[in-house]
Structure 1
Amino acid sequence: MSRLDTRIETPRLLLRVQREEDFPYFAELQADEEACRYIGGTSPRAAAWRKFLQMPGAWVLQGFGMFAVIEKSSGEWIGNIGPWQPEGWPGTEIGWALRRAAWGKGYGVEAASAAMDWAFDTLGWSNVIHSIDPENLASQELARRLGSRNLGPGKLPAPFEEVPIDIWGQSREEWFARKQPK
């Protein structure tokens, strides 16, 4: 089975490689000022298409990328969540971006938890990070709910080197210890 066929199911979500039919939802996300506030700002539809192609390209070249997150009850694409490590990135990241309609439903924790399990188990990662703008309180809360902690300021590669970020993260051991019944 090819990694391009990877599917992860959670109680409410399906995580899979992005498909062309997901683009209208992605374009909606990329046009939403509030949803894109901390991830580089909005993009017009043509630029959103080029960004959209990054994830399938990462899957082909690296064998992983952020998952398309599909809400089972509606069948709609609600965002991208998962492993991400572009050239020069400060670490092995589990990142996220969700359409505003999906906010506040616990989908971020549900999908990111499944993606972290997959990254540790399948990719063999020893730790994960989350690159978070210091003003992005919602992403900081999601990182906390995953058990990550603020490891301090970080630096992204060009052309994002001036964007302030804090690196949040945890080790494989911390992740699995937290999941053990007490």
Structure 2
Amino acid sequence: MELLNLEISTDRLLLEPVSQKYKQCIFREFTQEITTYMHPRSPKTISETEFFISESLLEMQNEDNLIVVILKKDSQEFLGCSGIHELNTKYPAAGIWLKKSAHGNGYGLEAIAALKKWAEDNLDYEYLIYPVDRANIPSRKIPEKLGGQVFREYEQMNLSGNILHLVEYRIPKKGLGARD
């Protein structure tokens, strides 16, 4: 796999590997409000964002994780980030965040569906794991629309010190019980 040159295109979106070119957008848009239901916290300095991007690039070079920026195809507007972690396992984990102004447009489902399709074509896995906070109803709709079923629920402290009430979905690979 050549993850650093990957490009995934959908009707409205372009997913490409995260890069330092997007550090200002990520730093500006990955706010405390956006991270409310997420494990990471918003960066306090631009150097934290630069470090995240550098680490993501190393993880992609090692083919451990795929981290992409989500762009509107027509305008190249930055919408957020998404990814699949632990690529070389039977149960990789998918995740996403979108900037506040991009919420409610179906971009999350479109991006995760595209990553799921990429995974089906490129990875040897049984199902994608999709953890989401129980209270984050819009994000819960993403795995549900992709045939995901709740596998387990648990609590976890995020990096901001808040307790997340996580619902972990299993999204099956096409042909293994998926409702496509």
Give the structure-2-normalised TM-score.
0.83
Partner of 2:171: 170
Partner of 1:34: 33
Change (3 A) 1:117 1:156: farther
Q: Deviations over 1:77-109 (max 9, x none)?
A: 2111231139xx994111111111211111111
Higher RCO (CA 8 Å, separation ≥ 6 residues): 2
What is the one-letter code of the residue matched to 2:71? I
Aligned counterparts, 1:91-130, within 5 A: 91-130=91-130
Aligned counterparts, 1:7-156, within 5 A: 7-30=7-30, 32-39=31-38, 40-45=40-45, 46-62=47-63, 64-85=65-86, 91-154=91-154
Richer in helix (by share): 1
Rounded to whole Å, the distance in 2 between the matches of 1:93 and 1:2 is: 19
Unmatched runs of 5 consecutive residues or more in structure 1: none
Richer in strand (by share): 2
Pick which of 56-65 and 116-125 moved more: 56-65
- Contact 2:18 / 2:68 at 8 angstroms: preserved in 1? yes
Measured on the aligned residues, the alpha-carbon RMSD in Å equals 2.9
**Aligned pairs, number:** 175
| Partner SS, residue 116 of structure 1 | helix
| Partner SS, residue 37 of structure 2 | coil
- Contact 1:90 / 1:154 at 8 angstroms: preserved in 2? no
Give the structure-1-normalised TM-score.
0.82
| Partner SS, residue 62 of structure 1 | coil
